[in-house]
Amino acid sequence: MSLRRTGVILMSLALLAAASGCSHEQRDWRSAQTANTVEAYQDFITSHPKSARAADAQARITQLTEERDWQRASTTDTADAYRQFLEQHPQAKMAAEARTRIESFAQNGSPATAAPGAPSPAAATPAPPGATGTEPAVTGAYSVQLGAFTTHAKALGQWRRLSARFATELQGAVSDVERGKGPHGRNLYRLKVKALTEARARSICEALRKHSQACVVRKG
- Phi, psi dihedrals of residue 130, rounded to the nearest 5°: 90, -10
Last residue of a domain, one of 68, 94, 120: 94
Confidence of residue 118 (pLDDT cuts 50, 70, 90): very low
Query: Is 112 inside a domain boundary?
Result: no
Return the number of other C-beta atoms located less than 10 Å from residue 114's C-beta.
16
Alpha-carbon distance of 182 to 100, in angstroms, equals 8
Angle at 217 between CA 216 and CA 218, to 5 degrees: 110
Mean pLDDT confidence for 43-51: 89
Q: Are residues 83 and 143 in the same domain?
A: no
Let me know how long the chain is.
220
Return the number of other C-beta atoms located less than 10 Å from residue 209's C-beta.
13
173: domain CATH number is 3.30.70.1070
Task: Give all strands (DSSP E) within the chain, no chain letters.
Answer: 142-149, 174-181, 187-196, 216-219
Domain total of the chain: 2
Q: Are residues 144 and 83 in the same domain?
A: no
Query: Is 2 inside a domain boundary?
Result: no
Last residue of a domain, one of 37, 72, 94: 94
Query: Is 147 inside a domain boundary?
Result: yes
Alpha-carbon distance of 44 to 100, in angstroms, equals 37
For the question of whether the overall pTM of this predicted structure is more than 0.85, the answer is no
pLDDT of residue 170: 92
Query: Is 49 inside a domain boundary?
Result: yes
Closest by CA to 146, choosing from 134, 164, 133, 158, is: 158
Range of the domain at 89: 26-94
Q: Which residue has the higher pLDDT, 202 or 185?
A: 202
Q: Are residues 90 and 148 in the same domain?
A: no
Query: Is 214 inside a domain boundary?
Result: yes
